[in-house]
Amino acid sequence: MEKIILFLTVLCCTLSSCTKEKTDYEAEIDTIVPERIEFKEVTNFKSGNYTIRIEALGGQLYKGYNQIRLKIEAPDQPAPSTVTLLPILTDSQGKISSCPHRYEQLYQAEEGYFEGYVVFTEESRNTSHWDLHIGFTAAEQLHSNSQRIQVRPQDNKNLNMTSFTGNDGEQYFIALIAPQKPKVAENNLTAGIYKYNKPKALSSSSTIDPAQFSYSQVEGYTLQLDPRMPEPSMGNHSSPNNKDLVQGTDKLYHGVVNYTMTGNWTLNFILLNHQGRIVKGTVVPNDFTPGVEGIKSELHIDILF
């Protein structure tokens, strides 16, 4: 009897083991969506007695939205103030330009760092490079520095960005900020919307003039959202219960996007100004068309998870 029971137990174990493994759904998203939670040092340099540390999520800078922390340290030296940051791109012809950023950094007293952000519009290449111009005042003395940094291509499509010229002739930038790692769920979608402030007068000076590179956060606009799967076999599939992005108290734009399954999605946008006029974007068809690739809005960002 014992033998039989033992034999049956062994048999049961072999029979009850699965032929195909279950999908590890969360791990599968991890393999394709890098998530960076911790701020790490990107680089550091000296300015007089001061050591300036540039920190970003994961210790790297990427095309798209980057939150930046500056730690300016020096033992027994007066605390720095009025910290400014200006990213400058120099192309192969030596022409310089910038990208959306916060110029005057906010001091976070508790944590002891200065906080800002940069939306890099392209990655560093052999022919073009980015420099961060960092200035601060300490003991009534102005320190200005320039530090070459490496901007990597964005490897997380959920943090993609786009730039365009609106129907009002202004130059706009939309960068995705959250979620870094979406789920098949209702996701709170956060984006930054920026605008290039055209300078009143062209600068003639050879030194870099921050007024030439002024960007601001767009106020009071609405970003209408229509997420769809562009894959032909998905037939222009969409999801319910999405919410358009509107500006929050943090000046960023917040909405809700539902992803019904993993894969490629297109966030189709229409940007409306305060009067409700279309700045950019087109209405996409909403019919179900299996076998046909989904038509995208002229203003859209592709994501993948």
* Residues contributing to the site for other proteins (CB under 8 A): 1, 3-5, 7-8, 11-12, 15-16, 18-20, 22-23, 25, 28, 32, 183-186, 229, 231-241, 258, 260-264, 286, 288, 290-291, 304
Least spacing, CB of residue 261 vs other proteins, in Å = 4
Least spacing, CB of residue 66 vs other proteins, in Å = 25
Nearer CB in complex with other proteins: 71/243 = 243
Least spacing, CB of residue 186 vs other proteins, in Å = 5
How far is the C-alpha of 84 from the C-alpha of 103, rounded, in Å?
Answer: 5
221, HSE (Cβ side, Cα atoms, 13 Å):
26
Nearer CB in complex with other proteins: 74/292 = 292
Nearer CB in complex with other proteins: 20/200 = 20
Least spacing, CB of residue 236 vs other proteins, in Å = 7
Nearer CB in complex with other proteins: 30/168 = 30
Edge-to-edge order in the sheet of strand 141-149: 96-97, 81-90, 129-138, 141-149
Least spacing, CB of residue 295 vs other proteins, in Å = 14
Nearer CB in complex with other proteins: 142/283 = 283
Nearer CB in complex with other proteins: 162/236 = 236
Least spacing, CB of residue 233 vs other proteins, in Å = 4
